[in-house]
Amino acid sequence: MSAEVEIFDTTLRDGSQLEGISLTVDDKLRIAEQLDHLGITWIEGGWPGANPKDEEFFRRAATELKLTTSTLVAFGSTRRVKGKVDDDPTLANLVAAGTSAVCIVGKSWDYHVTDALTTTLDEGVAMVADSVEYLRGHGLGVMFDAEHFFDGYKRNPEFALRVLEAAAEKGASTLVLCDTNGGSLPFEVETIVGEVVSHFRNDVIVAIHTHDDTGCAVANALAAVRAGARQVQGTINGIGERTGNCNLTTVIPNLTLKMGIETIPADRMERLTSVAHHIAELVNVIPNPQAPYVGSSAFAHKAGLHVSAIAKRPDAYEHIPPDTVGNGTRFVVSELAGKATLKFKAEELGLDLDGKALGDVVDTLKRLEHEGYHFEAADGSLELLMRRAAGWEQEYFEVESFRVTTDELPNGSFTTEATVKVHVAGQRVIRTAEGNGPVNALDQALRLAIASCYPALDRVHLTDYKVRVLDTEKGTGAVTRVLIDSTNGDLSWSTIGVSENIIEASWLALFDSIVFGLLHTSD
**Residues engaged in binding Zn ion (CB under 5 A):** 14
CA nearest neighbour of 99 among 137, 142, 134, 69? 142
Instruction: Closer to Zn ion by CB, 132 or 146: give it.
Output: 146
- Quote the least distance from Cβ 9 to Zn ion, whole Å: 12
Environment class of 214 (CB within 10 Å of its CB; exposed 0-12, middle 13-18, buried 19+) = middle
Instruction: Closer to Zn ion by CB, 14 or 281: give it.
Output: 14
Judge contact between 6 and 13, C-beta under 8 A. Answer: no
- Quote the least distance from Cβ 17 to Zn ion, whole Å: 8
DSSP codes joined into one string, 409-461? -TTS-EEEEEEEEEEETTEEEEEEEEESSHHHHHHHHHHHHHTTT-GGGGG-E
What is the widest separation between alpha-carbon atoms in the chain? Answer: 83
Instruction: Closer to Zn ion by CB, 17 or 156: give it.
Output: 17
Question: Taken in order 240, 244, 245, 248, is the CA torsion positive or negative?
Answer: positive
Report helix angle 355-371 to 339-348, nearest 10.
Answer: 110
Instruction: Closer to Zn ion by CB, 14 or 376: give it.
Output: 14
Q: Which residue is nearest to Zn ion (CB)?
A: 14
**What is the torsion angle, in degrees rounded to the nearest 10, for the CA atoms of residue 154, residue 159, residue 164 and residue 166?**
180
Position 379, amino acid: D
- Quote the least distance from Cβ 149 to Zn ion, whole Å: 11
Instruction: Closer to Zn ion by CB, 180 or 274: give it.
Output: 180
- Quote the least distance from Cβ 16 to Zn ion, whole Å: 11
- Quote the least distance from Cβ 266 to Zn ion, whole Å: 28
Number of CB atoms found within 10 A of residue 429's CB: 17
First to last CA, the chain: 46
- Quote the least distance from Cβ 314 to Zn ion, whole Å: 37
Q: What are phi and psi of 74, to 5 degrees?
A: -95, 145
Instruction: Closer to Zn ion by CB, 181 or 324: give it.
Output: 181
Q: In sequence order, which ranges of 149-229 are alpha helices (DSSP H)?
A: 149-155, 157-169, 186-200, 217-226
Instruction: Closer to Zn ion by CB, 9 or 14: give it.
Output: 14
Instruction: Closer to Zn ion by CB, 14 or 383: give it.
Output: 14
According to DSSP, the residues that pair with 175 across neighbouring strands are: 144, 206
According to DSSP, the residues that pair with 231 across neighbouring strands are: 6, 207
- Quote the least distance from Cβ 192 to Zn ion, whole Å: 17
- Quote the least distance from Cβ 125 to Zn ion, whole Å: 22
- Quote the least distance from Cβ 498 to Zn ion, whole Å: 45
Instruction: Closer to Zn ion by CB, 182 or 438: give it.
Output: 182
Please state whether beta strands 414-424 and 492-499 pair in parallel, antiparallel, or not at all (unpaired).
Answer: unpaired
- Reported as type and span, the H/E element at residue 99 is none
Q: How far is it, in rounded angstroms, from Cα 344 to Cα 350?
A: 10
Instruction: Closer to Zn ion by CB, 70 or 233: give it.
Output: 233
18: which residues sit within 8 A by CB, 6+ positions away? 239, 240, 241, 244, 283, 285
Q: In sequence order, which ranges of 313-459 are alpha helices (DSSP H)?
A: 339-348, 355-371, 379-389, 438-450
- Quote the least distance from Cβ 245 to Zn ion, whole Å: 6
The DSSP letter of residue 287 is: P
Q: How far is it, in rounded angstroms, from Cα 329 to Cα 311?
A: 9
- Quote the least distance from Cβ 182 to Zn ion, whole Å: 8
Instruction: Closer to Zn ion by CB, 77 or 488: give it.
Output: 77
SS3 call for 76: strand
DSSP codes joined into one string, 188-204? HHHHHHHHHHHHHTTSS
Q: How many residues does the chain have?
A: 523
SS3 call for 165: helix
- Quote the least distance from Cβ 223 to Zn ion, whole Å: 17
Instruction: Closer to Zn ion by CB, 28 or 271: give it.
Output: 28
